[in-house]
Structure 1
């Protein structure tokens, strides 16, 4: 990936100027999540579909005894549906929002400089996006994990987690 946003730790950069970000793709969209909330990246497993799931949620998985909702950027961004494939990945996120995110490829963890474009400059009121970076070969969209799930859907998410107790 070429571009000025990636820094491999040059002496001119201070740690406060950089953010470790896991970069991945869904279709041809390059996305990123903060590495600080990353638990693991695992190979794709069977996802159990659930009815009436919140927008972006395609089902649930059992991850070491925890039921996690599975989030699809394809569904969230209204991209064409695609069956999950064995070479896809699940990004396990731990923090305020525990969930698994479907990724079709993983680029790795990169340090991003603080020259991101605010989503408010593009479309005021845009949800689920922290910012956008310009790269030589396209754009990188950084997701705002707390905003991916509508606050009104928190009860549905909790019900999905309790689904395994039935």
Structure 2
């Protein structure tokens, strides 16, 4: 008799940038908050916009538009920040809007290495019919050198 494999569904938080859909694993998400003023962080990697004070903690703000070659935009009041936990720190990610939580069967996800071999930070692509969602690996947004640069820049910050 053939053995049937059962896979747990995966929950992702879907957000948009320029009307394109992106996602993060829901297990990394702490919360979604309204955009606030960002304090610039001199000598930080290009993907880092600055830092914010989040409940007394200084957290780094990522602008991932640069990773996806999307045009930079000023932060607007309707933008949202996704507060998420990497292996090393709590971070905020700037989004145009957060769409919601989607539960996926693993068979709906295409391995990103096949489709995007030069982008470590894309862990998979969810195929939802007419809508494709790029699922991102939060821990791979920064290279090792960029992470070291960020550590140095953060040590010099006071808000």
Q: TM-score, normalised by structure 2?
A: 0.87
Where in structure 2 are there 5+ consecutive unaligned residues? Answer: none
1:162 aligned partner: 155
Kept in 2: contact 1:60–1:160 (CA 8 A): no
Shift of residue 110, structure 1, vs aligned partner: 1.6
Partner of 1:63: 54
Tell me, in whole angstroms, the C-alpha distance in 1 between the residues paired with 2:151 and 2:137. Answer: 20
* 1:39 and 2:39 aligned: no
- 1:111 is aligned to 103
Cα 1:43–1:15, aligned 2, differ >3 Å: closer, same or farther?
A: farther
Higher helix proportion: 1
SS of the equivalent of 1:85 reads coil
CA distance in 2, matches of 1:163, 1:68: 13
Q: What is the DSSP-based 3-state SS (H/G/I as helix, E as strand, rest coil) of the residue aligned with 2:110?
A: coil
Indicate which of 84, 90, 103 corresponds to 1:98.
Answer: 90
* SS across alignment from 1:76: coil
* TM-score, normalised by the number of residues in structure 1: 0.83
C-alpha contact (below 8 Å) 1:67/1:160 kept by paired residues: no
C-alpha distance in 2, partners of 1:43/1:22? 16
CA separation of 1:63 and 1:91: change in aligned 2, threshold 3 A: same
Q: Output the CA distance in 1 between the equivalents of 2:6 and 2:157.
A: 42
Deviation at 1:106, TM superposition (A): 1.0
- Once residues 52 and 95 of structure 1 are traced to their aligned partners in structure 2, the CA distance between those partners, rounded to angstroms, is 21
TM-fit CA distance, 1:44: 0.3
Q: Are the equivalent residues in 2 in contact too, given 1:55–1:149 (CA < 8 A)?
A: no
Shift of 1:126: 2.1
1:123 matched residue in structure 2: 116
